[in-house]
Amino acid sequence: MTSIINVSNLSKTYEGGFQALKSVNLEIKDGEIFALLGPNGAGKTTLISIICGLVNASEGSVTVGGFDIIRDYRQTRALIGLVPQELTTEAFETVRQNVSFTRGLFGKPKNPDLIEKILRDLSLWDKKDERIMNLSGGMKRRLLIAKALSHEPQILFLDEPTAGVDVELRKDMWNVVRDLQTSGVTIILTTHYIEEAEEMADRVGIITGGEIVLVEGKEALMNKLGSKQLTLDLLTPLEKIPESLIAHDLRLDNGGTNLVYTYDSKSDRTGITSLLNDLSANGVKFTDLKTNQSSLEDIFVDLVKQSS
Amino acid sequence: MNLRAIKAIYLFEMSRTMRTLAQSLISPVVSTILYFVVFGSAIGSRIQEIDGVGYGTFIVPGLIMLTVLTQSMSNASFGIYFPRFIGTIYEVLSAPISHLEVIVGYVGAAATKSTILGLIILITAGFFVDLQIAHPFYMFLFLILTSVTFSLFGFIIGIWADNFEKLQIIPLLVITPLTFLGGSFYSVSMLPPFWQTVTLFNPILYLVSGFRWSFFENADVSVGVSLSMIALFLMICVLIVWWIFKTGYRLKD
């Protein structure tokens, strides 16, 4: 796949001295759904804001569809639809007026049929003549998505789209996102819900403290997810793993009182039986055992901890 | 040139004006009527003619300028400040639209509104005094130039302001006094010589003087000087706005 967005050495230091981005490099592929994960204040919104033209970068460059975001801003911005994190809407305009306004702002000719389709897809058609201030929070979220889609963007940024959104809307939204991907739209979403990334994304990037610490295909991450740990509470602590047990993927934890075995739960042979046999043959006794699975959440938390 | 974007912003702003039509039009018209009643009739009847023009008639150009100036500024400053305040400015910033196009949309709409207001006050004044406009073309030129210049100035205030108080402070503290002291209600020649000199530093003087000339063919300063001063002030505003967009001041940080 060819890349549609290229971020190189992008840094941003705000006026107060806060460094939101530290030399970020990122490539987004054409047609993919990319999930950008990170805790609050990690730099997700700053990164998106720079690509969309809301914030000036301090250093580095970004190209969108091969165009530079500063020099060729007309081309790059025409390609991008942005759904902001905050529910920033007008108050007195009606839904349909406001969506058409966005289309005009992006230089596209009027297209009432398209606007109708977008509003229907987002279950907003009934509210088309309603003033925005009378809409519920969820409806406003839908409106922001409708506005972003009104000018038929090739790339859609969804900044925390499901924050404070009910289950039904979340489902609706994912359907819209899937349809968009089918029609060739590249989607970049930021979230701190890991399930969301697991559910939707082709690739996942993790950002923390203004740095991208990991970019990986979801499959690769899921494989990491497949690994499980068997933890044995030992009767008598060990100082080191006995020679005869080296062949197993073992490590000592908790001052030698725990023995941790990592294995692939998806493979046919997990090696647990042979490990237990070898343990009893070596006279290693244990009082309890438990298994646990490393989730994307664990990987995420580990990475965030490591880099902070 | 993204003409559709200019149109979208312009119509958005005009529909905001239309929604608040009553308050936009009624209050300037009512206050103008009050000026006529108080200055024109009550006080004016005791004031002799100025430069051969009855006092009630003499103050018409100044009154129009007063309204056009304040309305241009408050309209344009609010027009850009409000989206910044509620956050919807993100849309304009992320759209494929140049700085010039943004300004034409916002400032154009504000200037249109204040030009219309100026004309309405002119018509209102026609009910109270006998008005003759010697140079209609120049009258329109001054009206439009002033509307555009001060809408641009309002746009700058709207970007500079980071709270509602700041939005009010320049119109209230600077422009209103300058308008009153700029010969709106008197001829500068009526002042003592020292204050006549001081008044020459007041930019509003040139607007009112030029505008009044287009009605009665008499002016405190020559028309050419008036037009040059407006052009100068317009240029200064354009430069400031250009700098704002270039640096992203208060918009992109």
Q: How far is A45 from chain B (nearest CA, A)?
A: 12
Report CB contact under 8 Å: A52, B94.
yes
CB-based burial of residue A287 (10 Å sphere; 0-12 exposed, 13-18 middle, 19+ buried)?
exposed
Q: Choose, out of A74, A77, A87, A105, the residue to mutate when testing the contact with B (most B CBs < 10 Å).
A: A105
Domain A3-209 class, CATH top level = alpha beta
User: Mean pLDDT across the stretch B75-100?
Assistant: 93
Which residues of chain A make contact with B90, given a CB cutoff of 8 A? 52, 54, 82, 84, 88
Strand blocks (E) in A30-169? 33-37, 59-64, 67-68, 80-83, 155-159
Q: How far is B158 from chain A (nearest CA, A)?
A: 17
Q: Tell me, which fold does domain A227-294 have in CATH?
A: Alpha-Beta Plaits (3.30.70)
The string of pLDDT tens digits covering residues A7-41 is 999 999 998 899 999 999 999 999 999 999 888 88
Q: Which residue of A has its CA nearest to B17?
A: A92
Report CB contact under 8 Å: A104, B94.
no
Instruction: Write down the pLDDT at residue B104.
Output: 95
Which tokens in the block code for residue A230? 């068997």
Report CB contact under 8 Å: B91, A108.
no
Name the residue with higher pLDDT: A302 or B78.
B78
Instruction: Write down the pLDDT at residue A213.
Output: 87
Are A155 and A80 spatial neighbours (Cβ–Cβ below 8 Å)? yes
The string of pLDDT tens digits covering residues A213-271 is 889 898 887 776 667 888 999 988 888 888 888 888 888 888 888 988 888 777 778 88
Would you give the end-to-end CA distance of chain A in angstroms? 33
Banded pLDDT at B23 (limits 50, 70, 90): confident
Instruction: Write down the pLDDT at residue A225.
Output: 63
Q: How far is A90 from chain B (nearest CA, A)?
A: 7
CA proximity to B105, closest of A88, A49, A107, A76: A107
Q: How far is B96 from chain A (nearest CA, A)?
A: 4
The minimal CB distance from B94 to the residues A54, A91, A101 is found for A54
CA B76 to CA A26: how far, in whole Å? 40
Report CB contact under 8 Å: A107, B87.
no
Mean pLDDT of chain B: 89
Which residues of chain B make contact with A132, given a CB cutoff of 8 A? none
User: What residues does A227 pair with on adjacent strands?
Assistant: A264
Report CB contact under 8 Å: B87, A84.
yes
Instruction: Write down the pLDDT at residue A307.
Output: 67
- Give B31's Cβ-side CA count (13 Å radius): 14
Report CB contact under 8 Å: A107, B253.
no
CB-based burial of residue B52 (10 Å sphere; 0-12 exposed, 13-18 middle, 19+ buried)?
exposed
Name the residue with higher pLDDT: A211 or B198.
A211
Q: Which residue of B has its CA nearest to A72?
A: B96
Q: How far is A77 from chain B (nearest CA, A)?
A: 5
User: Mean pLDDT across the stretch B28-53?
Assistant: 80
Which residues of chain A make contact with B5, given a CB cutoff of 8 A? 104-107
Which residues of chain A make contact with B8, given a CB cutoff of 8 A? 101, 104-105
Which chain B residues have any C-beta within 8 angstroms of a chain A C-beta? 2-5, 7-9, 12, 15-16, 19, 86-88, 90-98, 248, 252-253
Report CB contact under 8 Å: A101, B8.
yes
Residue A194 has pLDDT above 80, yes or no: no
Where are the domains positioned within chain A? 3-209, 227-294
The percent of residues above 90 in pLDDT, for chain A, comes to: 52
The string of pLDDT tens digits covering residues B126-149 is 888 888 899 999 999 999 999 999
The string of pLDDT tens digits covering residues A279-302 is 888 888 889 989 887 666 677 777
Q: Which residue of A has its CA nearest to B1?
A: A107
CA proximity to B106, closest of B97, B117, B118, B119: B97
Could you report the predicted ipTM of this complex, rounded to two decimals?
A: 0.87
Burial letters for B29-47: b for 16+ Cβ neighbours within 10 Å, e otherwise? Answer: beebbebbeebbeeebeee
Mean pLDDT of chain A: 89
One-letter amino acid of A110: K
Count of H-run helices and E-run strands, chain A: 10, 14
Q: Choose, out of B10, B93, B94, the residue to mutate when testing the contact with A (most A CBs < 10 Å).
A: B94
User: Mean pLDDT across the stretch A38-57?
Assistant: 92
Banded pLDDT at B181 (limits 50, 70, 90): confident
Are A40 and A114 spatial neighbours (Cβ–Cβ below 8 Å)? no
Are B152 and B73 spatial neighbours (Cβ–Cβ below 8 Å)? no
Residue B113 has pLDDT above 90, yes or no: yes
Name the residue with higher pLDDT: A125 or A305.
A125
The string of pLDDT tens digits covering residues A148-177 is 999 999 999 999 887 777 888 888 888 888
Report CB contact under 8 Å: A55, B252.
yes
Which chain A residues have any C-beta within 8 angstroms of a chain B C-beta? 14-15, 52-56, 73-78, 80, 82, 84, 86, 88-93, 97, 101-102, 104-109, 147
- Classified as helix, coil or strand, A265 is coil
Residue A195 has pLDDT above 80, yes or no: no
Are B142 and B230 spatial neighbours (Cβ–Cβ below 8 Å)? yes
The minimal CB distance from B96 to the residues A73, A82, A97 is found for A73
Query: DSSP assignment, residue A136?
Result: -
Categorise residue A214: left if φ over 0, alpha if ψ from -120 to 50, beta otherwise.
beta
Banded pLDDT at A66 (limits 50, 70, 90): very high
Are A106 and A99 spatial neighbours (Cβ–Cβ below 8 Å)? no
CA proximity to A151, closest of A114, A187, A117, A124: A114
Q: How far is B236 from chain A (nearest CA, A)?
A: 25
Largest CA-CA distance found in chain A, in angstroms, rounded: 80
Report CB contact under 8 Å: A74, B2.
yes
Instruction: Write down the pLDDT at residue B17.
Output: 86
Residue B247 has pLDDT above 90, yes or no: no
Report CB contact under 8 Å: B88, A92.
no
Instruction: Write down the pLDDT at residue A107.
Output: 95
- How many other CB atoms are found less than 10 A from the CB of residue A219? 10
CA proximity to B124, closest of B36, B65, B41: B36
CA B250 to CA B129: how far, in whole Å? 46
Q: How far is A56 from chain B (nearest CA, A)?
A: 6
Are A79 and A154 spatial neighbours (Cβ–Cβ below 8 Å)? yes
